[in-house]
Structures are given as structure tokens and as C-alpha cells.
Amino acid sequence: MKLSNLITLKRFLPFLLILILVGFVSASVLIFHFVLVKRERNIEFENAVQLRTIQISNTMSLIITETRDIVMFHRMGSKRQFDGSLKKLNALIPVLDKRYKILNDIVENHPAQAKNIYSRQKELYFHWIHILQPILLRLTEYHNIVAGKILITPLVKQMEQLEKGYYSPSAIKEKKKQIDALDSLYRRYDAAYIIGSVIGFGGLAGVLFLILTREYILKDDAERYGSMFKENSAPILLVDAETGVIKEVSKSALAFYGYAYNELVGANVEKLNTVMPSEEQKEVRRRIIKGEIKYVLFKHRLKNGEIKDVEFFLTPITIKGRSHIVGIINDITDKKMLEDRLEESEELFSTVAEESLSGLVLYNEKIIYANWCVFDMLGYSREELYGIYIWDLFSEDSKEMVKQSVLRRLNGDKFDGSYTLEAIPKDKRRLLLSIHSTTVIYKGKPVGLASFIDVTEIKKLEEELEHEKNKFKELSEIDPLTGIFNRRRFESSLSDYMKVAQRYERPLSLIMFDIDHFKKINDTYGHQAGDEVLKDVCNLVKPILRNSDTFARVGGEEFMIICTETDVSAAKNIAEKIRSSAEAHAFNLPDRVTLTLGATEYRQGIGLDDFVRNADQAMYKGKIDGRNRVEVYQA
């Protein structure tokens, strides 16, 4: 090459280099502008979607918890906890609705970036607006009705489906892979520009521009996360997964723990979690980052020293290339205390039941729980007894009554009952149980609780005593010679009938008679013959009387007849039948046996003695007038 050519080339070389540098810088600017703008938009969109889906997922987790608590506290009758959960749910529903709308707007405004999630987001948003939100609003508006009847499991499954959406541990990992892929491509560009930097300023400028842009993007991400925490109404902590240092905290979390912002941010989370060992906390954070844990219970210490039971809903995220954990806090101290009390109550019930000397069962259609006395009385094994319908343990005459009583309880009818029923033990012996039952709530449903004792021997003794009592009563009210009622029964019955006649103004008559010359019969033929005459007279009178009449021997040869619903005229007819029957009867004596009878009717205001005296006076008049006749008392 000629010298002149070399000089010319050397002269133009700076211009050429400048031209190359300008071209390189221009190309770099164009490439960077295209790549970085597109990448920035993608990252901005991905961060916006990721942040909003975190908020939606965490808010939905809180709604699931409060919905469960509302139904549980309603069924347990815990009004204070119920009102608190209802208030939280009322606050969370509009928050979640707002976040859904924001996310939906983001997807609508970025169709190119959202093409992979567009249809899924529309489906989730439609499900929230038209299905789940109306159900939750009905629950809050008509909570006293809906909370008692809502099927919590299907509702929670619906909410968990929305909670998952497209924000799951697997989705996060996939997103992280995509970002890592972009970072890898970005590093290739770095290498190209580093090599190009030996050519000139363009390479160095490109590397510096790339570093500055990267720092800007990461800084922008951190600022957006910080803004999310400061604006969020839920208690939230952002923790560095490796060190456990608290990076950010929401205002409601500061209020919950009682610390100032600068007291918590920068401190290790072990300042709050003073119960769990440090190494165990590190293991928990490691498993959270791996996606193995999304929910955990801790005991956290507040600034005032109070220990609170808290549950954390956890989500791993990446900020500036480092793994962090977002934790939404839910105070469950009251709930945990209630669960501990329930557990203590169950243990107390079990202790009392097992030490009781009476049978104790908890039942619906079948036995849920039975203490040792039940197995001892009935003779069944646990497997046999728990497989029998409760009403099949009783005799046929009481089976239907027991069944209806059980069904009433299961339908929510609260009542107490005391019964003595015959049970059917395994050995088929006669077994009488004295049972007291009531309605209780078990696991949110009405069931029966019954205690009972074996009263078979007691009932047997009572039956024997009742038999003896009836026998004694019969002996005390029956005349042993004639077999008819005696004076005791006569006076008792007459007193009762007089009360009825006086109160309802019903007719009541009395007949009194004796055997004419009965003393002569005894003196002439002996007392044995007289006794036979007395019995024969009674046998003559009985067929003439009605079942409603009361026939009694009130003296040696004196008899009384109480005629209910009978006036004196009808009583006189009855007396005449008795007289004529005796007159016509052939007694086993040489002499004729006749009767003299007196009849009278009850008048309002007279007493028992006067009533009897009136009948006696009528009979006495018959004696004076010649015997063997019927006389009626004339006032």
C-alpha cells in the first residue's frame, strides 16, 4: 500500500472511528430502547399482576378464615366473636372487589402481555362478580339466617378456587424461570457490549446504560412493594428469607404489635417470634421459599410483653434478586382460647362420664358416646352398641315413642324428658331403666344426652308394695262375711257422690234397709244361721242393682245402697224390687224372712249425717207401720 494511501487512511481513521462509534452508539441506543422498553413493560406488567394477585390471594385467604369463623361462632352461640368476624368480613369484601377490578383493568389495558392469562382472568372475575360476591353479601346481610344454614364446605372450595387463580407456587416458579431466562438473555447482551467496549466508548456506554437501567428497574420494583405495604390495611410483614430481617411493615401491623416503624424495620423477626428456636425459624423460612408451606401458626410477643397466637398466610417473592416472604397476620388468640376451652370441656366431660355410676349416652339416630355403665348394663360390645339404632334398644311398646323423641331432637326441638322404659339387653333379661334426657348441641348440631339407672329391682319392689297396698285396701273396705263394701267405703263414696250432686245439681238417692226380726233369727237358730241369711240377702240384692250403685253393710243387719243419677221415685222402685224379691225367696229357715226399706233423695245444703239420718227415719217409719215395706222420707 502506498504511503499516501496510509496517510489518507490515518487521516480519516478518527472520522471513521467516530462514524463507527456513532453508528455503534446509535445501534446500541436503538437496540437498548427496543429491548429495554419491551422488557420494562413486561416486567412492569408482570410485577403489577403479581402484586395484585398476591393481594387478591391474601385477601381471599382472610375472607375464607372469617367466613369459617362466622359459621362456627354462630353455631356455637359466641356472639362477640361472631360480631367481630362479621365486621371483618364486611370490610374485606369491598377491598377484594376493588382489587379484582384493578387487576381486571390492568389485563384489559395490556392485551399483548396478558394474552396467556386473559381468558382465565375473565373467568375468575366473572365468578367473583356474579357468584361468590353475591353469596358473601347475602351472608353479611342476612347472617342470622344464612350462617345457620349455609353449607360451608362448598362455599370454601369456591373461594379456594378463586384464591388459587393463576397465582400458585408452581405459577410463581414458572414466572421466576421466565424472568431468569430474560436475565440470561440480558447477560448475553452484556457480554457482547463488553467485547464491543474494546472498540470504543460505545461498548462502555452500553454497559453503563444497561447497569443504570437495571438498577432503575429493581429500584422501581422495591418502591412499588414498599408502596403496597404502606397502603395496605391488612397487618403485613415483608421478611428477608435468608436473614429473617424485617424489610417492610404495614401500619396495621405496627398497631397490632405496638412498635414504631423504625423499631421493627431492620430488626430480626425473632424479636417477635421469641418462642420458636432460631434454627427452626430458618427451616420454616426455607420451606416457605420452596412452596412447601403457605400457612403457619406462631406465638408472637407484642411490645407490651403480651403473647398472641397468630396465623400467617405466606407468599414467597423476589426483590432485587433476593428471596423475601410476604406474611399476612391474623390474630387467633380468642379463637385458640376457645378451642382450648372446648378441649378442656371435652376432657372434663369424659372424666365425669367415665367416673359416673349411672349410664350416660350421647346420641343421634345411633349412639355417639357411651360410658362404661352402659356397656355393663346392656352387655353389648362397643362395636355392637354403636351400630344399633337407639330405639331398637327398647321394647316394642315404647320403640315408636323413643324414635319420635329422637327425631324431634334432631330437628332442633329442645326439650327435657323423664321416662321409665323397658330396655332390651343382649341377654334378653327384663331390664327397666329410669331415663332423663335433654337436647344439647354437639359439633354444631342438636343431639340427645341421656342419663339412666337400672330400676328393675326397685320397680319389682314397688309392684309388690302396690299389690300389698291394694290387698290391704280391699280388706279394709270389704265386709268379710258378705263380700260387699263396709261402712268405711260407704261413707267415703257417699261423700264423693254428694260433692258431685251439689256441684252439678244432679239427682242422688239413698236406700237403707235391715232384716226384720233378725235378733230373733240369731236367738232361735243361732248366729251361723243368721250369717247365712245375711249372705243370702246380699246375693238377692246384687242382681237388682246397677254397676254404678254402691252396696254396703253398715251394721249387723243394716245395709245401705247409694243410687247415683237417681231421684227418690226411681229409688223407691229399686227398694220395692228388693223387698218383693226377699219376700218371695225361700230362705233355709222355717220362718219367713222380710226386709224393711227407707228411701230418701239428696237436697242441696244437707250434710252426710243428715242424709243418712233421713234414710234411717224412713226405714224406722216402715218398722212402726208393720215392717216388710218401703217408706220414703218426707221432709
> Which residues are catalytic, by number?
557
Helix (H, G, I), strand (E, B) or coil at 117: coil
The partner residues of 300 in beta bridges, in order of sequence, read 308
The residue to which cell 263394701 is assigned: 485
Residues 6+ away with beta carbon under 8 Å from 152: 67, 68, 71
Is residue 561 within 8 A of residue 511, CB to CB? The reply is yes
CB atoms within 10 A of CB 232: 19
Name the amino acid, one letter, at 286.
R
Cell of 211: 447497569
The residue to which cell 403489577 is assigned: 48
CB atoms within 10 A of CB 321: 8
Is residue 167 within 8 A of residue 121, CB to CB? The reply is no
Reference 349, options 368, 333, 377; nearest CA is 368
Distance CA 308, CA 253 (A): 13
Distance CA 319, CA 395 (A): 74
> Crossing angle of helices 3-76/169-197, nearest 10°?
160
Distance CA 71, CA 307 (A): 27
Distance CA 626, CA 47 (A): 132
Give the burial string for 331-350 (b: 16+ CB within 10 Å, else e): ebebbbebeeeeeeeeeeee
- Residue 175 to residues 162, 210, 361, 535, Cα–Cα distance (Å): 19, 22, 57, 116
The residue to which cell 334426657 is assigned: 437
**Residue 128: left if φ>0, alpha if ψ -120 to 50, beta else—which one?**
alpha
> Crossing angle of helices 133-141/3-76, nearest 10°?
40
Q: Listing from the earlier edge strand, what are the strands of the sheet with 359-363?
A: 367-370, 359-363, 445-454, 431-442, 417-423
Phi, psi of 195 (to 5 degrees): -60, -40
Give the H or E element holding residue 536. helix 527-541
Residue 112 DSSP symbol? T
Is residue 597 within 8 A of residue 622, CB to CB? The reply is yes
- Tell me how far apart the terminal alpha carbons of the chain are, to the nearest angstrom: 178
CB atoms within 10 A of CB 383: 7
- Residue 138 to residues 17, 93, 125, 142, 159, Cα–Cα distance (Å): 75, 12, 19, 6, 15
Distance of CA 6 to the CA centre of its chain: 101
Give the H or E element holding residue 304. none
Dmax (CA) for the chain in angstroms is 194
Residue 162 DSSP symbol? H
